[in-house]
Chains A and B, each alone.
Chain A
Amino acid sequence: MQDLSRADLAEQVIPSLQEIQERLGYIPREAITWLADKLHLSEQEIYGVASFYNNFRFTPPGKHHLRICLGTACHVQGGDRLLAATSEKLGIKPGDTTSDGRYSLERVACVGCCALAPAVVLDDVVHGRTTQRSLKRLLDSIDREDRKAKKSEGGSQ
């Protein structure tokens, strides 16, 4: 990195964090230290940037990744209550992953389906007009499928 000035190095923080998250699914602690070393900055300087943006996460995503939209349209249609309820049901804050590693929860801003507000994205599939009940049904069905899959896997062994 000898040819880069300190300012140039600082400009690489965000693209590097993006690449790490893309490839690992989240920003592990070690990544902050590693990137600090590479860019000749302190861990705090990297962490400050990473914690500023909601899309960077510090915990590995769960088996199922649940994103709840809090864009303007979704917000007024009750997205915030949906998020609060889901957060309570799963026992985690947005940005975290359940201790069994099954679900991770994230709040996002506008996923581009405002007409379907409030919108929820589960494992990259958008579900519109979500209510607390429909979301519960959705999660229950996923739990059931997973259990079945596990059983057949166990049985085949």
Chain B
Amino acid sequence: MPSLTIDGKRIQFKEDGRTILDIAREEGIYIPTLCDHPDLPPHGGCRMCLVEVEGMKGFVTACTTPAKDSMIVDTTNDALMKLKRNILQLLLIEHPSACVVCAEWNTCNEYRSQPFKSGLITGCSTCPSKASCELRDVVEYVGLDDLGFIPRYKEMPVEKDDPFFDRDYNICILCARCVRVCDEIRGTGAISFAKRGHETRVDTAFGNSHLDSGCWFCGACIDVCPTGALSPRMMKWHGTPDETVETTCMLCGTGCQIEFDVKWNKIMASHPGSENSEPNRGHTCVLGRFCIPSLMNAPDRLKIPTVRREGVSIPVSWDEAYERIAEILNETAPERIGFVGGPHLTSEAAYLLQKLARSAIGTPNVDFRGSGFASLVVRTLADTDSFAKVGTLRDLEKADWIIAVGGDFAKTHQVVAKSCYQAVARGAPLILIGAAGVNLKRWATEHITLKAKDFSTILSQLAEDDEKLKGVKKQHVEHIKSIVSKGKGAIVFGSGILLARNPEEAMTALLKMIGDKGRIYPTFDYGNEVGAIMAGLQPDLLPGLTSVTASSVRKKFEALWGKKIKAGLSLEQMRMAASKGELDVLYVTDGSLPVKGFKKVKHVIYQSPFPSEWIDRASVILPAAGFVEDSGTVVNMEMKQLKLKQVTPPIGNSKQDWLILTELGRQFGSEGFKYKSPKKVAKELREFAKELGSGAMVEVEPVRKAPDWNPAYRGAIIAERIRDLKTFIDALPERERPLSTESMDDFVKRLSEQESADTQVKEVA
């Protein structure tokens, strides 16, 4: 095995193009770096990582030099350190240096995780700072204690006019990490270096706002910035967190791992989880990056159970609330009761909700509010036994070609889009079908502009290898076919395919087309739609995707639960029954469910973290914990089970859904509700999941509507609560435009004509 020596330490390694820096990092040998970042391709711009290699002329940058057998590397000799000090001094000319050589250094270090406080104490206010500053770390390591040159303060106003984050380019050291992550990793290119020499800066075209520059506010630039130049506006004043906890985001079906800073039992800030945490590996979207703390700390969270007496909602103890629910449910015939969950319940809670309905109460009417997209996907996969065709985001980055259909993922699933772009950047052609935003259009090799209703047609034509493709010119047909005929494909698709003339046909076609080599990537809109279906929160399915009509399995459940089980009313059927006055009680756990159609229901039991239009009609309100306060599991778009880890205690007097449902089950004297933790629930559910797919699927009518992108969580419409998100979403339509196809001649002609018209106007004036 090849080996090299770094600072006298012999290290064996595999020669696979990894750099000296990579090897050193793995071995825990610190080489200062500023422009390099593990997430980014090597850049070699800052020269901070210089090392001496025996036999190589001069010094080389460790971040760009591949490790070779029998290299002898020195990272710390005097000449090197002196050179690094000089380079740093040059670099610091453009960084307000009060900070790095400040006389208050020691005091500052004590308090610097609280910039506000340290500012007051040390009288310094140059940097919005972070608890850690890579630049400071490097200065400290290299041992610089004077500046050497007069610093040049650029006097640029701090840019605060865009949503979510501030930009103070006065303290930017031009390492290009932000530019590279935005461009090379996220595929957006919302920022770039502009001008040159002393005037060089990170900028947008013509200094436009980020809203206009195509920024998605994914925050990736902030996360790689080694200085305090970029900082999240609402998340920088809390100081050192008491702890940080990583859990799964439930705001869409990607299931990103997000790390939360906790202080005083509250969430102060969120960041992407570790680079090693699947599926997102250190990236998130605007929601996960910026919106969760404000959402979860909202002052109007439901905190106390209430019961309505004589028209007035009165705060009560949990026991009183359970008693009232028992009263209501006991006086109603089971078939006149409906349970409607939501796509943001954990799998355990979803399982318990249907178990409560089917076993303790004895009603078959269970369903959840979703888009119908997950239902279509999961049922088709179960029917055709093709769960193995669902890929992970890691697979997606290695795809040889991509078809994107039925959604603008760059907007709705920014992390999926990032993985798409990684494949595109490696040279995988992207075929875009249907409408989408600027990012996808730029990445696409072929854009087939079809109405959504024709999705099923074109997908079938592709699957059947037809001569013609709907809406595609002849020479392009050949090109598209040559693309999809080779290698491992990826079909990324979203709830937009529900708008196809025949969504089932579209779904079957794309499965057929992808064959055995490629993978499909369904982008679900909500946190745990798949988990809810698998847990049996469906009128026609038992836990483990078994049809209620499969008598052997059904009998097992009937014996276990002591109640007859049959197919119940779907959500739409419940709504119909309610409007005819045939449904008396509705148990709702998702405030985003529209009240419309349910006005005649006599009693509503509402269990949610957030108020919604339901609270005005609820007989009982049960305050539920938010997903960051809950534990359990969810199933993401990769069909992987991901863990929810409790980050903070449930707010106020609220409780986790699984606990509420367990206690309620006990209220009914039901034997099957003795769980002490969601783990026990998960274990029981796992037993049933072994029966996965053992029974014919029954068709229920899916809700054929692709949702607009207006992210919501259990009745809380996030943009209505977070102004910056609203500003961002409102600005999106203006960014949409078809990519210009005008030729150079036509463009020049149009512009000249426009200009001469302009000057004429000017002269007349």
Contact = CB atoms under 8 A, between A and B. Distances in A.
B209 to A, nearest CB: 13
A29 interface: yes
Interface string B720-755: 000000000000000000011110100110011001
Interface in A52-106: 52, 58, 60
A45 interface: yes
B732 to A, nearest CB: 16
Interface in B379-435: 424-425, 427
Given A2-B446, A24-B751, A37-B740, A44 B205 contact: yes
Contacts of B442: 40-42
A45 B192 contact: yes
Interface string A14-52: 001001100110001111111001101111111110011
Interface string A101-141: 00000000000000000000000000000000000000000
Contacts of B427: 5-6
Q: How big is the B interface, by class?
A: 35 or more
Nearest to B748: A23
Given A2-B445, A42-B214, A44-B189, A37 B739 contact: yes
B709 to A, nearest CB: 21
Contacts of B747: 31, 34
Contacts of A46: 205
A139 B218 CA distance: 52
Given A16-B744, A34-B742, A37-B740, A47 B192 contact: yes
B206 interface: yes
B749 to A, nearest CB: 9
B476 A20 contact: no
B599 interface: no
A60 B754 CA distance: 13
B191 A24 contact: no
Given A40-B442, A46-B205, A34 B213 contact: no
B542 to A, nearest CB: 49
**A28, A38, A44 — most chain B CB neighbours (10 Å):** A44
A2 B189 contact: no
A44 B752 contact: no
**A16, A38, A48 — most chain B CB neighbours (10 Å):** A48
A44 B751 contact: no
A9 B51 CA distance: 36
Nearest to B475: A2
A48 B180 CA distance: 13
Interface stretch (B156-164, B193-201, B228-236, B659-667): B193-201
Contacts of B752: 24
Given A2-B445, A24-B752, A51 B195 contact: yes
Nearest to A43: B205
Contacts of B425: 6
Contact of B206 (A5, A19, A47): A47
B214 A43 contact: yes
A101 to B, nearest CB: 8
A32 B205 contact: yes
Interface residues of A, number: 30
A2 B476 contact: yes
B760 to A, nearest CB: 13
Contacts of A47: 192, 194, 203-206
Nearest to B207: A47
Contacts of B443: 40
A29 B747 CA distance: 12
**A16, A42, A60 — most chain B CB neighbours (10 Å):** A42
B193 A24 contact: no
Contacts of B189: 41-42, 44-45
Nearest to A42: B189
Contacts of A20: 744, 748
Contacts of A45: 183, 189, 192
Contacts of B495: none
A32 B189 CA distance: 14
Nearest to B196: A52
B192 A44 contact: yes
A41 B195 CA distance: 18
A107 B151 CA distance: 27
Contacts of B185: none
Given A28-B751, A34-B742, A48 B193 contact: yes
A2 B542 CA distance: 49
B192 A48 contact: yes
Given A37-B739, A51-B194, A43 B744 contact: no
Given A32-B205, A47-B205, A19 B744 contact: yes
Nearest to A3: B479
B481 to A, nearest CB: 13
A86 B406 CA distance: 58
A38 B740 contact: yes
Nearest to A4: B445
B187 to A, nearest CB: 9
A33 B195 CA distance: 18
Nearest to B193: A48
Contact of B213 (A38, A43, A58): A43
A134 to B, nearest CB: 29
B490 interface: no
A48 to B, nearest CB: 3
A24 B191 CA distance: 26
B607 interface: no
Contacts of B188: 42
Interface string B14-26: 0000000000000
Nearest to B755: A60
Nearest to B758: A60
A51 B739 CA distance: 23
A34 B194 contact: no
Given A43-B214, A52-B195, A6 B424 contact: yes
Contacts of A30: 751
Given A40-B442, A41-B442, A42-B188, A34 B740 contact: yes
A2 B479 contact: yes
Contacts of A5: 427
Contacts of B190: 42, 44
Contacts of A41: 189, 442
Interface string B168-195: 0000000000000001000011111111
B742 to A, nearest CB: 7
A48 B201 CA distance: 10
A24 B425 CA distance: 33
Contacts of B741: 37-38
A44 B191 contact: yes
A17 to B, nearest CB: 11
A148 B144 CA distance: 66
Given A30-B751, A42-B183, 9 more contacts: A2-B445, A24-B748, A34-B740, A38-B740, A40-B739, A43-B205, A51-B203, A52-B193, A52-B194
22 contacts: A2-B476, A6-B425, A20-B748, A23-B748, A28-B751, A30-B751, A34-B742, A37-B740, A38-B739, A40-B442, A41-B442, A42-B183, A42-B188, A43-B205, A43-B214, A44-B192, A44-B203, A44-B214, A45-B189, A47-B204, A51-B195, A60-B755
Question: Closest 8 A-B residue pairs measured CB to CB?
Answer: A42-B189, A48-B192, A47-B205, A44-B192, A43-B205, A37-B740, A37-B739, A51-B194
Interface of B: 183, 188-196, 203-206, 208, 213-214, 424-425, 427, 442-443, 445-446, 476, 479, 739-742, 744, 747-748, 751-752, 755
